[in-house]
Structure 1
Amino acid sequence: MKKYQKLTALSIALIFFACEIHAETTTPVFSSLEPSFPESITSCLKGNCATGDWGSFRTKLEDKGIKLGVLSTSEVWTNTTGGLRTGSVYTGIEQLTTLIDFDQLLGWKGGSFYSCWSYLCGNEPSEYLTNNFLVISPIEGFSTLRNTALWFQQEILGDKISLCIGQLVADSEFIISHYGALFANSSFGFPPSIYTSIPNGGPNTPIGAPGARLQVKPIENFSWKAAIFQANVYPQNINNHGFYWNLNPEQGYLYLTEAAYKYNFLLPGQVKTGAWFDSGTFASMSNSNSSSSLWGNYGLYGIIDQMIYRKQNFKKKTSENSKNGTSSSAQLKDPGLGIFGRAAFEPADRNLLSFYCDTGLNYKGLIPTRDKDTFGIALGYGQLSSTLINAQQGSNNYNANGNIAQPIPGTGLGYEMVLETTYVAQITPWLTIQPDLQYIIHPGGAQSLNNALILGIRTTLLF
């Protein structure tokens, strides 16, 4: 454990050292070193991938519409206090992706193919360290090689209509906040209001499921999409390679729909609203009859992303681009300060959570000369089902003989919260390093575990 703690501290120190080296500066020391870099190293640092252009082979493939990529994500998480236990774990995922544009390759207008193979390794920090349901990392999972996505898409009338069929993951398109995607905690991506409500988390990275998605974009700023999936993806140790498909109606289907509107009145923003429905059967949260089951499950949600400040120096750059004939409209990804918020509701009688919400802010370009780095702070809150709470309180009020008893100490249920602060340093176009801190309040929604303070470091490397 001490070894991992030293590794975490050393990694965090290296981040800030690397940021200083990468930042633009006019000091004599850096100026004297700059000419000494070999041209091959300079080209590599400025390229989009760590392995370069493969002797122009990569460019030749892309000219034919074939894009290959390998993304490596590694994380070390240390629990310093509270939770199940203190200590450190490593978790990682390697992803091999292939994207084929059939228009470039075959002249097939609007057709494309995508595949993603994932290899997970390491331990699960939430399971091993904290026993919480606002999961520390989205790449927690059973160590194995599996297919995450394998689909064909056809676009019609440009991008106004698109149909995608194959192995899909819902978290790539639904219930996602632009600003929330920065954070390491899984809750700020695909929210716990849905992954705790459907069997085995549903089609959520790293596990995909067979399905289809239709998107319609009648005007530039508005889109509507709907999808259907195999709802039960089965446990990861059973569906260990991603192809445990079962389209039996008794297992249920997952339906999602979402409408999104983008605007740019003074500064850019977007709002989304959607719903999901699972046609399977679900256990009742009331323990008055443990064998009872309920048909169907559903949830509603809303999302907002809003930029509230845009960096002045970036305005000047885009103004210059406008004079040169390029687009100058502001976008959410521009350097500046943005906020987000999400809220979701589910019925309390069949779900672990009846309400979930999160909010936060991002500042891209907080440090001068570091316009591609992003600092963020966010808060997530999950309210446990009132039906479950009442059932638990009822079991505490009566003993096995039916007589009134004292509540069991330390078992009160209520809510779980996570407060996260993070900084993503864009070292090169293909390397990011992300120190992260998470404070988990009421792990598992119970009083039996103390609040946990988690320190982490994430690196992403695109080959």
Structure 2
Amino acid sequence: MAFASTWMWANPAVAAEAATSAAPEVKQLADSDVNPADLPEADQSIKAKPLDQWTGLWNRQTMLGDIGGLRSWLWRSGVTVGLTETSEVFGNLSGGMERSHAYNGLTTVTVGLDTQRAFGWQGGNFNASVLHIHGQNLSSSSLGTIQTASGIEADPGARLWELWYQQKFLDDKLDVKIGQQSIDQEFMVSQYAGTFINTMFGWPAVPSFDMPSGGPAYPLSGIGVRVRARPTDSLTVLGGIFDGNPAGDSTNADPQLANAHGTTFSTHKGKLFIGELQYAVNQPAAGEIETGGKRGLPGNYKLGFWYNNLRFADQRYDDGGLSLADPASSGNAAQHHGNYSVYAVADQMIWRPSEDSSRTLNVFTRIMGAPGDRNVISFSANAGVTLTAPFEGRDSDTAGLGMGYARVGSHAREFDADQGLPMRSGETYLEATYQYQVAPWWQLQADVQYTLNPGAGILNPKDTTQKINNIWLVGLRTNITF
């Protein structure tokens, strides 16, 4: 999530912890990401017809296809390479700090290595990914919102994102991942929320504001170990231990500048513990092929927590019990040992006309809370509905309507009153979006967002006589997989 600088202006006690973290839809490479149609018939492990390099442009999974045989040659050697480009233009039609528009772009390069195909070691995968972020952060420069408009908004530049090794055990019932990881790829994830563009549908407001530096989430990541166990086909247990602050020891107020290239491999700034219990209903068993039977509508339910053992500043009181706004205050915020949050996620399909239909109606919700004394945001929630295949012949399109809410913590609100500022409350946004699948490798997405009480009710720093007005925002995004 990208912090709006204006919003942090109203929070001097926590400005040093401001961070930008988002959660773009970036898949890690796996065998399933290789399109068999892009591989030559000579590879007997893949039963597919040969596809000429310069035909089938609109049917292939990637724009460049097999690149003259290069992709299939690399695949047989255990190597998969992914390149995606996300570009978008947004403009606020009214409201915000000022009317403006901006371009954002994200280039992601991912390289994977399957150790079994590479040198016969079963169950192992290496993964490395690099980001190049370009464009302008509209939310911080012109909107002043808590819940930022786009999940790819971040400081421009190139950085290492993830670098890890994963090993599977016990017929894939257990796997361990170790290295630099972005936990927004696996924890707190809502399947259907991924349709939307606003940052909070990816990495929610509670961890974005309450974890040091926004937590090990896009565009940052953290050194750690993640363990996943599947005791049954329906039950998954996910847990991990990560460095407590992905920005390391730097005193730079912007964590992305503190860890400008993603190579600050910090391991001594406290510890972040996170766990999640996942329960799936009406899902096919491992290895089972869907036959169009009478299985019920699928759903996924998750319950999780995180705990960070660093010290966290009180948002109102100093070490002597006085308000930080009191002229007699020491100016040193009272310290709380540790910070935590609990959360729940639900994804459920609620309708489809037939078992083999592409058209489905789906709902999701995600709620989480944290202590109000040491956190800027004490509660956040997302909810929404999506419809796949909304029109005849458009089986790969998706339409969605969603909302998000973030509530400012009690001590932060009281600190506002102590300073004589408007007391912040909460911020709500609505988003309507439509994903149009031009080709398997090319997607266009139109988006409209409306934000009520931007910044939870702070004064507009560009006109301190009034609060930031409600925002109408429109945008267009394109995703291309090369």
TM-score, normalised by the number of residues in structure 1: 0.82
What does 1:212-251 align with in structure 2 at a 5 Å threshold? Answer: 212-234=225-247, 235-248=255-268, 251=269
Secondary structure class of the residue paired with 2:58: helix
- Which of 176, 179, 191 is residue 204 of structure 2 equivalent to? 191
2: CA distance, partners of 1:102 / 1:63: 11
Pairing partner for 2:316 from 281, 286, 290: 286
Structure 2 CA distance, aligned partners of 1:272 and 1:262?
Answer: 9
Task: Give 3-state SS (helix, strand or coil) of 2:116's partner.
Answer: helix
Deviations 1:72-113 (A, max 9, x none): 011111011111111111111101101111112211111110
Paired residue type of 1:179: Y
Preserved CA contact (<8 Å) 1:196 1:351: yes
Aligned partner of residue 237 in structure 1, secondary structure = helix
Aligned to 1:438: 449
Letter of the 1:460 counterpart:
N
| 1:179-224 C-alpha deviation (Å, 9 max, x unpaired) | 0111100101111111100122111112111111011111111100
**Counterpart residue number, 2:298:** 268
Structure 1 residue 42 displacement after superposition: 4.5
What is the number of residues matched between the two proteins? 392
Q: CA deviation at 1:246?
A: 2.2
Pick the aligned partner of 1:80 from 89, 93, 96: 93
Paired residue secondary structure (1:219): coil
Q: One-letter code of the match for 1:268?
A: P
8 A contact 2:53–2:68 mirrored in 1: no
Match of 1:310 in 2: 352
The separation in 1 between residues aligned to 2:72 and 2:182, in whole angstroms, is 29
1:391 shift after superposition: 2.4
In the alignment, is residue 141 of structure 1 matched against residue 154 of structure 2? yes
Task: Summarize the alignment of residues 57-72 of structure 1 with structure 2, pairs less than 5 Å apart.
Answer: 57-72=70-85
Q: Give the drift of 1:449.
A: 0.6
Partner of 2:320: none
Q: How does 1:36-115 map to 2 (within 5 A)?
A: 42-115=55-128
Task: Report what 2:286 is aligned to.
Answer: none
Distance in 2 between the 1:453 and 1:146 partners?
A: 32
Q: Secondary structure at the match of 2:385?
A: strand
Query: Identity percentage over the alignment?
Result: 32
SS of 2:230's partner is: strand
Q: CA deviation at 1:41?
A: 5.5
Whole-angstrom distance in 2 between the partners of 1:82 and 1:163: 47
Contact 2:235 2:280 (8 Å CA) reproduced: yes
Distance (whole Å) between structure 2 residues aligned to residue 440 and residue 388 of structure 1: 21
Question: In 1, are the aligned partners of 2:87 and 2:105 still within 8 Å (CA)?
Answer: yes
Please tell me whether the aligned partners of residues 209 and 242 of structure 1 are also in contact (alpha carbons under 8 angstroms).
no
Of 358, 375, 393, 1:351 maps to 375
CA RMSD of aligned residues (A): 1.4
After TM superposition, the structure 1 = structure 2 runs for residues 368-387 of structure 1, keeping only pairs within 5 Å, are 368-387=392-411
CA distance in 2, matches of 1:40, 1:62: 16
- Bigger share in helix: 1
Unaligned runs of 5+ in 2: 1-51, 248-254, 283-294, 318-322, 325-330, 459-466
SS across alignment from 1:372: coil
Q: Could you tell me which amino acid in structure 2 is paired with residue 430 of structure 1?
A: W
Q: Specify whether residues 311 and 369 from structure 1 end up closer, same or farther in structure 2 by C-alpha distance, changes over 3 A only.
A: farther
Correspondences of 1:21-40 after superposition (within 5 Å): none
The whole-number CA distance in structure 2 between the counterparts of 1:179 and 1:299 is 22
Unaligned stretches of 5+ residues in structure 1: 1-38, 318-333, 397-407
Instruction: Say whether the 8 Å CA contact 1:378–1:419 is kept in structure 2.
Output: yes
- SS of 2:258's equivalent in the other structure is coil
Match of 2:47 in 1: none
Q: 1:418 corresponds to which letter in structure 2?
A: Y
Distance 2:156 2:257 in 1: 9
Distance 1:179 1:311 in 2: 19
Structure 1 residues 359-406: Cα deviation after superposition (integer angstroms, max 9, x where no partner): 10000000110010000000101111112112222332xxxxxxxxxx
